[in-house]
Amino acid sequence: MKRVMWGFVALVAVATLVWVSAPAVSQPKVVKIGDLGSKVGVFEGYGKYQTWGIQMAVEELNAKGGVLGHKIEIVSEDDETKPAPAVRKAEKLILQDDVKLLVGAVSSGATLAVMDVTKKHKTIHWNSVSCAEFMRTTKFHKYYFSNQPDSRMQATGLAKYIVDKMGKKVYIFYTDYAMGQSDGRQFKTALEKLGGEVVGVAGAPLDTKDFSPWFGAINQSNPDVLFLAFAGTDSLRLMTQLHSFGMTKKYKLAGIDCFLLQQDLPSIAEPMEGFVQLNHFSPYNPDANMQAYNARFKKKFGTDANIAAGSYDAVLFWAA
């Protein structure tokens, strides 16, 4: 009788262990990646498209089984387009959420600050939007990757085009923080090497509402070309105000690759007429892979992809 009872107890114990452990065995393995960028404010548009690129890559990878049997999950945070919040959110993503890849930030100032965090915690860090050259020079570390052309690359190409086709006397107007400072400095160097003349330089604070106080100095310098290193809603306001002062007709204008997303062009089509802008991603690129990517992106989100498409590459690169 005792042997029967002990056998029954043993069976119950084994069944209980199986019942308790079964849910844990059936739970899918998960690996998290971080999406850090501007969700509101001046650079909101870039942050939105960065997130969409990440989402599309993750959905495609998860449909194929994820990464090494792990389902990929995205944890998104708003860096408020400022270095201090970006650092706090990066620490949270790495230490609390345990992300294995951090994509971001959007602004150069925030990205530069986050690089210290990813270096300290040895976390893979991918930048697909910010362009200050320090990310590839003094701030560079072995966990950092980027497919965004930095300010040196942009300046070299655009300066030559301007000198050859637009004019040699250039006024440089930039947003006075890491990105604009870098773009302005590198463009000045590239232009002067090609025999161009910088007739004036000025910087306006990020999120400036009224740019007219700078227009007098621009007009007094009488440039052939007005080079602009702004982005986001700053660009929209600046172009609207330049146009209202008749300056879009008076001068030839050119700018960096993140000056304006093509999705914003219809809202200021007339002021932007004739504007020369770099663009390292174009939905009109005839390359078959680019066309296929853009078709999938447009089907999913209802609009063309743009320069933030590098966030899609970031996830695929990390997963490989």
CA 267 to CA 236: how far, in whole Å?
9
- Give the whole-number percent of the chain exceeding pLDDT 70: 92
> Over 90: is that where the pLDDT of 40 sits?
no
CA 2 to CA 106: how far, in whole Å?
71
CA 114 to CA 125: how far, in whole Å?
9
CA 300 to CA 298: how far, in whole Å?
5
Predicted pLDDT of residue 136: 87
- H or E segment at 280? none
Q: Which CATH superfamily is domain 29-148+284-319 in?
A: Response regulator (3.40.50.2300)
pLDDT digits (tens, 9 = 90+) for 141-181: 999 999 988 999 999 999 999 999 999 999 999 999 999 99
Do 282 and 304 touch, CB atoms closer than 8 A? no
Nearest CA to 311 out of 16, 168, 102 is that of 102
Q: What is the pTM of this model?
A: 0.87
Domain positions in the chain: 29-148+284-319, 151-277
- Ramachandran angles phi, psi of 168, nearest 5°: -105, -20
Question: HSE of 96 in the Cβ direction (CA atoms, 13 Å)?
Answer: 9
CATH topology of domain 151-277: Rossmann fold (3.40.50)
Do the domains at 29-148+284-319 and 151-277 have one common CATH topology?
A: yes
What residue has token string 């990205």?
A: 111
Predicted pLDDT of residue 26: 56
First to last CA, the chain: 61
Predicted pLDDT of residue 15: 38
